[in-house]
Structure formats: structure tokens, C-alpha cells
Chains A and B, each alone.
Chain A
Amino acid sequence: MEAMMLLRGLYAIWLREITRATRDRAQLIGGVSRPLIWLLILGVGLNPYFRGEIYGEVRFVIPYTYLQFLFPAVIVLNIMYTSIQFAVSVIWDREFGFLREILVSPMPRPLILLGKVLGGSTIATIHGGLVLILARFADVTLSLQQMFTALGLMFVLAFGLTSFGVILAARVRSFEGFGVFSNTIILPLYFTSSSVFPLDPALTRTQMVTAYPEWLVFLVQVNPITYAVDALRGVIIGFNQFPPTYGLAVIFGMAAVFFVVALIDFSRS
């Protein structure tokens, strides 16, 4: 009985996020246009330069087209934008008073946060899933099983990043502040996640450092998004630059750690 009541509340909080998202035209347009721009313009434009032949001796051995290589990264990009943008929903609740309606209800704090984060991750996963519609165009074929594994990973990634958005929201006072903030976070993380260029596994470490400056390699290696992109690439096109367990560990680790931090933040307020 008690559990049933709590489930209803959880469902209500989740459903509210979904309803609000479907009424937010701007966010939907962003979710659709972003993958189109990245895949159609950047992907198609750089596709011819990606094959090893043009580099002569040092051959890149990645047996994929640039579009295929980029495809999983664009999914991650879409998830990142939507998840981190979720902070706006949290700030909105706080600034426009709706938070009080939730806080005076008998719902326990952790469930309130869980409902919100689940709502945000669902929306982000859907936005990531929009990219999958372009699979045929990027020359990526997915079995049903690959598709579900990918969606599962996407959801866990979205869960972690949405929690991260909630953590940011607790530290940002205004909407304006947040807009600047999110752009200075998302794009650098994306570019240094080996999303748009590979760290060629065929090269030894010395060769890699010759090809790329050491600081860049360092940035790529410490960026958790690198491993998330890598895991998704492993599932979608069967190419990994790191041991596949790294990616899984990072994705699940982020989800757990960020949610716990968000929970601590939320219970304190």
C-alpha cells in the first residue's frame, strides 16, 4: 500500500518532466538539428580525409568511415546537451516556486530527486535515440540486440549526466549564468573525448605523442566522456580504443557517484 503510494508519486514526478519536455519546442529543435548538423556537414565533409591512404607510411588502421566513427559520438553529444540542460528544469522549479509544492508533499527527498533524474534521463535518452534514426545514412547497421544494449548504455550515461546537471543547478543561481556555464563545459568535454578524431591504437605511444601533442593526449585520457564514447562505439560499430570494461566502469561509476552527490546536495537544502 505504502509502496504503491510512493510509486504513484515517483511516476507523477517523472511524467511531469516528460510532459514539460514535449511542450518545450526549442529543446526538441535542438535535439533534432544537432545530429543533422554534425553528421550531415561535419561527418560528410570530413569523410574523404579519414582513410589511411593519404597519410602514406603511417597508416591509420581504423577500418571504418568517418561517418561511422563519428556516429556514436554524436549520440553522446546529444545526450550531454539534453542532460546538462536539465539543470534548467531544476533551477526553474526553485525560482518559480514549484519546488515548494513538491517539498511539502509526503514524498521522501531521495524519491523526489530520483523521479526528476529519471525523467531527465528519459528525455536525454530519447534525444540520443533520435540520432539512431540516422544510422542507415551513416552506413551503420544495428541488430536488435545491439540497439537495446546501446539504448541501455545511453540511459545509464544520461542518468549520470543528468545528476551532474542537478549538481550544477545547486551551484548556479540564475538561468543566464547557467547558459554560459553549460556551453563552456559541454563542447570542451566533447572535443577532448576522442569523439571527432581517434587516438590511433595502431601507433605506439611514442608515435602517438608525435602525432598529437602530449597535453592533448593527456586531456583525452583523463576525460571520462572519452570512455563513454568508446563504450558506445564498441557496441554500435564494434571498435574500441580502450578495454571495453573501462567504458562500462566509467558510465556506471558516473551514474552512481553523481547521483549520490546530487542527493547529498538536495537533502541539505
Chain B
Amino acid sequence: MNETAITVHDVTAHYGSKKALDQVNLTVPTGAHFALLGPNGAGKTTLVNILCTLRRPDGGTAVVAGADVIARPTQARRSIGVVFQDSSLDDRLTAWENLEFHGLVYGMAAKPRRAMISTVLELVELGDWTHEIVRTFSGGMRRRLEIARALLHRPKILFLDEPTVGLDAQTRQRIWQYLDRLRRESGLTVLTTTHYIEEVENADIVCIIDHGRIIAEAPPEQLKKDHGIRWLHVVPQDATAAEAIVQRFPQAQRLSGTGLALPAGDDDRTDAFLAEFRDRLSEIRFHPPTLESVFLSLTGRELRDRADGQRDADRAAGRRGGRR
């Protein structure tokens, strides 16, 4: 068996003159849970689209399950399962019809197909909804059905683009348990994208991506050790106080809302800061190194800081498979 599931070399992508991916390089070992972490618009979906052969990179190469996505896309497609960021179900068909379609298109014979359909429906607890039209499903149910569908043909690599949006904790746990088992037993490789830090704590490798560039790639613990520092989060009493703080301590980062974050390393700047401003703060709190703080120190920004409107527009465009 191949040791690396995915190799990405110098991949570049643009939309018009806008650069979405800038010389991305990464390697995903077989059987790993690889998490791509980045804020909205970082280029996660663009990278997933390239890896699942929906979009050609404008430069560089990508090899998925031993097949070059440009030269041998069909071979690559055989080995992958994809859950897109937005629904790609046919909502005029029933759950079963959607799965049956998928199984047939992947060339599965009747017997294993039927067996797998009940297995995956069971996994996502949609057994009672087998013959219901998907249009009547809730968002979370659709999501579950899509995950079931992506696993139906037993892919070697599973791409999950923000998979857990709209899923409750129990379902999420169930699905991860199943995926972990598949990873152990059959060497399934899982690549997820997310902007929720909590989701990547359990990943084997976390890759932080921002503005189309990979800015860090390591196991979560390693990242915390290398880039994590303590942060002091403060809420100034008023806007003038906030202004004054930023003036005196340019390293302060503005958080969403009225908060500010200051790196609280071992130096005495923290003491100096507190001595100077303690009376003009309404709240102070120390944060131990977390991935969130790793992210903050690497990018200078909080993770969720982009307007939702932008995101929706991008998603509508992304849904068309990269076509405008």
C-alpha cells in the first residue's frame, strides 16, 4: 500500500486576477486524519475542489491515491468520496434513490450495493427515512445522508468540506467513531476542512491555511508548543481606553466585539500593561495556548472574522463546481 495518500506540490489557483491558492505544498500520509483549518475565504474549498478533480490547478501538481488529478482524473475519482460544503443531493429523490444512484454510478453490483446502503443508512440513523423524499429532510439529516453517500462505495480517501455544520454532538461523535474504525481497519484517509478549532484537536495533522497559503503544518500538540503563547484578553471600559491601549501597545490585536488580545509571554510587558491600564479595563482573562491562540499569533486575526455575506456569495459560486 502507498504510504502517502495525497501529495500536493506548488499548487496555485486563481479566480480571475484573484489568487485563491498560492504555491500550496502538503503531504497526507495514508490512514491519517488531516485537518485543513482556515478562516472563510482561505482557499480550503478551492483546494478540495482541485483534489477531487473538479477544478484544474492553474499551476503545480496533485497526486491523490497514486493518481495525478490532471493526467488521470478518472482513476483518482474511483478512490475518493466527497462531502461538499453545500448539499449536492437530489432533493426530489428519496434517500434510498440518492444512494442507489451513487452506488450504480460507481459501478457497484446489486448485492454489495444493497448491503452497503443499509449499513450507511444505519450509521447515520436514517433507516426510518429510507423512502422519504429528501426535500422533506432537515439540514442535519441531509448532511448525514451526504456523509453516508460518500462512504457508500468504500473510498480510500474521504474529503469532508466542513462536514459537521448542522450536526448535533452525538451524531458527530458516532460518525467520527465509525471513521476512526475505518482508518484503523482499512487505512481510510480523511481530509476535513473547518474553521472550528474544536474539531481539529483530534486530528493527526493540522494544517493552517490563510489567504491561500499554508502557514503551519504539524500535529496539534506540536503547533501549540511551537506557536502557542499565552494571551491576555481584555475588555476596555470604553473606546478611548481601547484607543490608548492600541497606541501604547501596537502588538494588541482587536477581537470581535470590544475586546483586545495581547501576547502574554514571559517578558514584563504584561506587567507594564496591567500597571498602566488596570483601572480602565472591565475584564481581564489569561488564555493558555490553544489552537485558537496559535492561529491568532500566526495570522494576527481571530478565526471567525469575516462577514457572512461574503461567505454566502462564495458558497453560491462554489456550488456550481467552480463555474461562474
> Smallest CB–CB gap between A115 and chain B, Å?
9
Restricting to A75-105, which residues have a CB under 8 Å from any CB of B?
A: 94-105
Q: Is A6 interfacial (CB-CB < 8 Å)?
A: yes
Mark the stretch among B31-39, B75-83, B294-302 that contacts chain A.
Answer: B75-83
The A-contacting residues of B in range 48-63, CB under 8 angstroms, are: 52-54
B105 at interface, CB cutoff 8 A = yes
How many Å from the CB of B159 to the closest CB on chain A? 9
CB-CB nearest in chain A for B146: A101
For residue B323, CB closer than 8 A to chain A, the reply is yes
Q: How many Å from the CB of B234 to the closest CB on chain A? A: 44
B264 at the interface (CB under 8 A from A): no
A8 touches B52 (CB 8 A): no
A6 & B107 in contact (Cβ 8 Å cutoff):
yes
- Of residues 79 through 127 on chain B, the ones whose CB sits less than 8 Å from some CB of chain A are 80, 82, 84, 86-93, 97, 100-102, 104-108
Could you say which of A5, A13, A101 has the most chain B C-beta atoms within 10 Å of its C-beta?
A101
B288 at the A interface (CB under 8 A):
no
Flag whether B321 is at the interface (Cβ < 8 A).
Answer: yes
- Which residues of A are found within 8 Å of B86, using beta-carbon distances? 97
Which residues on A sit within 8 Å (CB–CB) of B52? 104
Contact A12 B100 (CB under 8 A): yes
A104 cross-chain contacts in B, Cβ below 8 A: 52-54, 77, 80, 82
A100-B104 contact in complex given A16-B90, A23-B92, C-beta closer than 8 Å: no
Indicate whether A97 sits within 8 Å of B88 (C-beta atoms), given known contacts A12-B100, A19-B93, A105-B77. yes
Residues A98 and B89 in contact, CB atoms below 8 Å apart: yes
Decide if A100 touches B84 in the complex (CB within 8 Å): yes
Partner of A98, one of B53, B74, B78, B88: B88
Q: Does B19 touch A at the CB level, under 8 Å?
A: no
Q: Which residue of A lies closest to B52 (CB)?
A: A104
Given contacts A11-B104, A97-B84, contact A106 B54 (CB under 8 A): no
The answer, yes or no, to whether B320 is at the interface (CB within 8 Å) is yes
The distance in angstroms between the C-alpha atoms of A11 and B88, with both chains bound, is 20
**Beyond A104-B54, A105-B77, is A99–B321 a contact (Cβ under 8 Å)?**
yes
Kindly state the separation between the CA atoms of A206 and B100 in the bound complex, as whole angstroms. 62
Q: Which residues of B contact A (CB under 8 A)?
A: 52-54, 74, 77-78, 80, 82, 84, 86-93, 97, 100-102, 104-108, 149, 319-321, 323
Listed by A's residue number, 19 A-B pairs whose Cβ atoms lie within 8 Å are A5-B107, A13-B101, A15-B101, A20-B90, A20-B93, A95-B320, A97-B88, A98-B89, A100-B82, A101-B88, A101-B90, A102-B105, A104-B52, A105-B106, A106-B74, A106-B78, A106-B106, A108-B74, A269-B323
Contact surface of A with B, Cβ cutoff 8 Å: 4-6, 8-9, 11-13, 15-16, 19-20, 23, 94-108, 269
